[in-house]
Chains A and B, each alone.
Chain A
Amino acid sequence: MKRIYAIESWCIDCRRCEVACKTFHSKSKNTVKAFTLEFPAPRNRVRVEGGKTLSLAVNCRHCAHPKCVEGCISGAMTKNPKTGVVTSDPEKCVGCRTCVSMCPFGAVRVEDVVDKGVAYKCDLCGEVLGEPGEPSCVAACPNRALIYVESEEC
């Protein structure tokens, strides 16, 4: 499958990926509305860690044997057997945070929405859950610090 890779030597900590991710995962798909109007506020799934001297856009690896799926108690976290995309279903998620603690990369976060915590993670910008799309973080990166390339194993 195609996966997103972060190249730390080219990450410049601008965080345009975060903005793009948040916009894509908004209802309006409009940056201004996503940041100022929408409620619940859309969440960005990619997150740049580090700072000026060293930074890296942390993102889900869509592991071949994902620990998050293994640990999920509600069946919300699944890996699509065909596409390999790992997604969390906000309807089923109960916000138990098992996935957060099991992910070796820190790529899953649970954020409080209106009534419960929900696990958020990269869905490869698919239009449908489990289908990969064209990741908007990769498109927004000005320095090719995020690349979306074919990789081994699904």
Chain B
Amino acid sequence: MQNRESLREGRVRIPSGCAIAGIMDRSGSRHDGSDILKSIALMHDRGNGLGGGFAAYGIYPEYKDLYAFHIMYESRDARTETEAYLDKHFMSEKQERIPTESVGSIKNPPDIWRYFVAPHPMRLNMSGLDEFEYTMQHVFHVNGQIDGAFVASSGKNMGAFKGVGYPEDIGEFYRIQDYRAWAWTAHGRFPTNTPGWWGGAHPFTLLNWSVVHNGEISSYDTNRRYVEQFGYDCELQTDTEVITYLFDLLARRHGFSQEMAAHIMTASSWDDIDRMDPERAAFETALRTTYSSALVNGPFSVILGSDEGLLALNDRLKLRALMAAEKGSMVYLASEQAAIEVVCPDAENVRSIEGGVPFVVQLDEVARRKRGESAENTPSAKPFKHEVGVLPRRRKEA
């Protein structure tokens, strides 16, 4: 933690390249972290040892109704302050230090804790916000306002394990073989101009969302300034952060399916729209026009994790690699085909994910449920935080 503060995410904007991988069992059966570890380790050269991490879904079934906060601390003071803050706004069921293994290459790790919490019912009620918005705003507060504390993940029955190092070392450090999850994602990081820091490693998470990403989005500031209108403060200034917020805004707030949210972010080209029948063209035009600032541009491949499953997405021009394969109820995603074959040599349907076409993997039970649901999106009726303030919004720009 002696790195120069000025080079951290949040202080400067950092473009980066990376390796990503994801493994999921659609049936919901849980598997330990050894496969994902093997898969990401194979792509060692796509990272540079400045960041690695994992997101795992289904790891805390005994606390599945509680938010599991993974929080990294630089100091004891930061922990004291954060815990006092959490005590005020949440009811904590359990808190503990996350078990870690000492690994030679991992230097100077932070103090990492987890908390299983529920929003304080009265405060939640008084805030006028829904539960997600409430939790999200408090996560933002800890990350933005408490010096030396960082919420690595904040979803239910899921968690992120990340840090500075190669992903295989990070996995060993967190003992991810000890966790059993129905979906795993992993990230090996190649930041181009920063020493890397624990909180800034990926996956980036928010509530149940986790995002691993390879690429550099050229639409960053357009997307950032769009989501910032709605109370998402892009503190880290990373692509992954803004992509996560876009998914949160479109899927959670505007009520679109994840697939539609991904479609909005990689909208149909005008050439394609011009060839559609008028009604479909009007539909696509309306989406593109209304959500024009949510279009994500530049090279990227993304794996989004959520309580529904995984979603893989490539930029419209397919400027980054991302492969998919299946075997029975298992689905494998990785930047390189070899990283799939190393854990599943007889994988079927090996294919590259098309540019701009969301690849959706849902839990069987989720898919079943969705089929019975209305195909109309239901925008959240609850207000955004910025809409209920007493004082004017502080100016965030410049």
When A and B assemble into the complex, do they touch directly, with CB atoms less than 8 Å apart?
no
**A residues adjacent to B (C-beta < 8 A):** none
**B residues adjacent to A (C-beta < 8 A):** none
